[in-house]
Amino acid sequence: MAFGSSEDVSGVKLLVLLAVMYGLLSALTYSVIHMKFVNPLGNDAPFDRFSEARTVEHVRMLSQEIDGRQEGRPGLKKAAQYIKRQLEVIKERATSNVRIEIEETTVSGSFNMLFLGHNIALGYRNHTNILMRISSVDSKETDPSVLVNGHFDSPLGSPGAGDCGSCVASMLEIARLIVDSGWAPYRPVIFLFNGAEELFMLGAHGFMKTHKWHDTIGAFINVEASGTGGPDLVCQSGPSSWPSNVYAEAAIYPMANSAAQDVFPVIPGDTDYRIFSQDYGDIPGLDIIFLLGGYFYHTSYDTVERLLPGSIQARGENLFSIIKTFTNSANIQNTYKKKSSEVTASTFNDERAVFFDYFSWFMIFYPRWVAKILHSIPVFFFLVMPFTHGRSHSWSAALCDFIKGFMFHAVGIILAVGVPVAFSILRLLFSSQTMNWFAHPYLAFAMFVPCALVGLLIPRIIWRHFPLSQDISIVKTSKEALSDEARFWGAFGFYAVLTLQAYLVAGLSGGFVTFFVCASLLPAWISFCLSVKFFGQRSLRSTMFYILPLVPCLAYSVYFGGFLAQFLIERMGMMGSLPLPYGHYVPDVIVAALIGTVTGWCTGPLMPICGHWLARSSILQFLLHLSVFALALSSQFFPYTMSAPKRIVFQHTFHTAGSSQILESTYDFSVTDSNSLLFLFKHSPEVAKELNITSEFSFESASLSKHNDWMAIFPLSFLFSNSLKFPAKKDDILKQYEFFPKLSVQNPSLNSKKGPRRVHLELYLGSLEEVWVAVLNITGPLSSWSFADNLLPGTETYGDGPQSYICRLSGPSDGNWTFWLEANNSEALRVDLAILDQKLVDPIKRLKNLFPDWVDVVAYSSFMSSYIF
């Protein structure tokens, strides 16, 4: 590669300078999102300060000393007892200026919900909630209060240190801090330690439907974790703009972004936030979630050692300050009064506000009415600027050039996304292994940033041969100046239109992203125009004067874009597997498009001026060579490590008849990403040997596991494809359990034969010891049932079967379930039953242990049976 001119050399110098600048910004971003700036306090910290070390001791007890906090396992009850003991200790230390009430409640109920786009009914019984209410001695029972919610149950197969032992531990430390600091809350603070969130938010539902304090809640904070640390981000805020305003005022380490509300619905899952603010309450609140460390989320690697230092300290200090601000806010009274009277609060509105933090240093917040004005100003500037050229021919020609600049910048951004996508597809045409970047996020940037820059620069090369509409002799300006002006205002118009579209048309909360770009481009252009008078149009010095005012904006773009890329890369291991052959390409295409978008966002504002230096054939060749090298090098990286494990689901399936007969026993396997089970068995030779898998094994010759085989984990089973089943022995389970689940008629129908036919049923759970959930799949002429206030959910098509109704039942297995189903005609009702039990037989334990340490295995048993009534 040769550099043929001085401008080529200058272009290389600028490229190196920009690489250094973005490298420094990336290092700053890494430091911030990994909480390097927070100093965690130790066990010897003053009692009037929040201490991460004291909090971690609670996490250690809940996730390490107590074995298994899943529903159906003894550890869940032990965790509840531990929490209650800690609260009693705090109560004993309280002074006379506060009143402390502690309650342990059991909740039962039934309701319908839409989860992951699927209709489902939920029935539950005897789940445990622990509550503490801290109030001043002169407070009343009906005073509006602030709720702080976190769950102490954990997901299948996970110690739950992050999710959500860290949440419960933080709440315990804050409760202690309130007491030890001598602060008497102006309004009551209620801590809800709920014991059934992982089962689709049952604990929160039980509190909202049955507890006497639920009517007093004026604001809430839901504390969650989908990882082991990092930014404790406000992912949802509402239903009014007031909670986010309180957060902006109070947060010591602000970590909030209104754009997160646009991204959150895309991620599989949900939180208790929806119960309090949407489904069963209209309560203003915040959903605050640990977002990094997603590699360990819902895995056996979610241990106390994986917690990111500094994260809990920042969370605790933020929460304590936010709770204080909520309790002192006059607006909380309005929330309570509106339940009993028509009080109009001008401070409340149902519109989303715009807010974002800047490197967690400070936070910017403005309401929607301000956003409507601010986000319209850039478009106004774009439309007005052509008229500053004076003569009629000049302004119309200038507008035409600006529109051309708009189109070319838009094409550049599109190519910045499209070229990496094309490269990712080409790579996978020659490789059977996808997601090589999964355990090495920096590899994704090395693979796709250079080719994204190539796509971004392609229109600049075309522009050189594109004639201007303006007549140089009329406007008396050089062609270079007119070209730069058209490129700049075209790019400005592109971001201005995006700003208007994102917030005012699409209703998204991320319009501030492009507004920040527009607001930064104007001083950059002014700085450039002034510098041209001293250094000339084609001078690197003038270019530097253009870049400098953009640095704060570019820094934020790297901060937010880098965090978003890290977050989504970590989540790609659990986003589900799609049918082959297209499913093989999807993760790489998504990540390539993401990196291309981030690259376009982070470097696009530079292109109107810097593109002159960078759009050189020598630089494009270098970027292309770098892309090809990185793509080739990526094949040498294995996708998974212990710090970024591959997730598989291992189900030991038993098809039963009656309470003591096994009809069939199989091992069912599925994965949650695009590297299929064939990849897994290829790199797990001991597992392949145990399952008698040979080198000729293929999906065509294997027994495929269908969707209805995974009914016990509905609706998560819809994330699976290309699942496999293998024959297993029937006898092992008979040594562990004497009786199996069975559904039977409780008593004969008392209804008239001419009217609806009601069938009373009893579900016997057999000898099963660690039941997580029971799932009913009901087909036929069902018209009503005893669940969910006799209301049926929407129907589902499960597997290849007809339209059906799905109901999940959870709660202690020491008693039978009784319920009724009603049919509106004489046709038979079919009930397919699946029971998920967490206790494993010895052969399953041995097989599970054969998997390599870069694999996380969620293993359980599923007992399936079918009935006709």
* Tens of pLDDT, residues 644-663: 999 999 999 999 998 889 99
* More confident of the two residues 219 and 746: 219
CA–CA separation, 333 and 219 (whole Å): 10
Among 32-41, 456-465, 666-675, 743-752, where is mean pLDDT lowest? 743-752
Q: What are the pLDDT digits (tens) for 159-201?
A: 999 999 999 999 999 999 999 999 999 999 999 999 999 999 9
Specify the pLDDT at position 462: 80
* The pLDDT of residue 399 is above 90: no
∠ CA 314-319-323, rounded to 5°: 160
pLDDT band per the 50, 70, 90 thresholds, residue 246: very high
Q: What are the pLDDT digits (tens) for 576-608?
A: 888 888 889 999 999 999 999 999 999 999 999
Q: pTM of the prediction?
A: 0.93
Q: Which amino acid is at 47?
A: F
Specify the pLDDT at position 391: 52
Distances (CA, A) of 149 to 140, 172, 193, 286: 21, 11, 6, 10
Specify the pLDDT at position 478: 74
* More confident of the two residues 43 and 503: 43
pLDDT band per the 50, 70, 90 thresholds, residue 397: confident
Q: Are 722 and 704 in contact (CB under 8 A)?
A: yes
Specify the pLDDT at position 433: 87
Place of tokens 């209709």: 119
Place of tokens 């982070």: 602
CB neighbours of 696 closer than 8 A, spacing ≥ 6?
none
DSSP string for residues in 502-518: IIIIS--S-HHHHHHHH
∠ CA 469-474-477, rounded to 5°: 80
Specify the pLDDT at position 475: 57
pLDDT band per the 50, 70, 90 thresholds, residue 473: low
Specify the pLDDT at position 503: 65
Q: What are the pLDDT digits (tens) for 59-71?
A: 999 999 999 999 9
Specify the pLDDT at position 440: 96
Specify the pLDDT at position 745: 94
Q: What are the pLDDT digits (tens) for 320-359?
A: 999 999 999 988 864 555 555 444 444 455 567 889 999 9
Mean pLDDT value of segment 356-366: 94
Mean pLDDT value of segment 833-841: 96
Q: Are 81 and 676 in contact (CB under 8 A)?
A: no
* More confident of the two residues 397 and 751: 397
Specify the pLDDT at position 753: 57
Q: pLDDT above 70 covers what percent of the chain?
A: 93
Specify the pLDDT at position 342: 44
Determine phi and psi for 661, rounding to 5 degrees.
-115, 130
Q: What is residue 257's DSSP assignment?
A: B
* The pLDDT of residue 752 is above 50: no
Among 34-43, 260-269, 542-551, 722-731, where is mean pLDDT lowest? 260-269
Write down the number of H helices and E strands in the chain: 26, 22
3-state secondary structure of 609: helix
* The pLDDT of residue 133 is above 90: yes
Determine phi and psi for 538, rounding to 5 degrees.
-110, 65
* The pLDDT of residue 99 is above 80: yes
CB neighbours of 268 closer than 8 A, spacing ≥ 6?
116, 574, 575, 576, 716, 719
CA–CA separation, 205 and 645 (whole Å): 33
Strand order of the sheet with strand 742-747? 742-747, 757-764, 817-823, 782-785
Specify the pLDDT at position 797: 83
Place of tokens 């596991």: 705
Specify the pLDDT at position 240: 84
pLDDT band per the 50, 70, 90 thresholds, residue 507: low
- What mean pLDDT value characterizes the chain? 91
Mean pLDDT value of segment 415-421: 97
Element at 127 (helix H, strand E): strand 118-136
CA–CA separation, 740 and 396 (whole Å): 81
* More confident of the two residues 347 and 235: 235
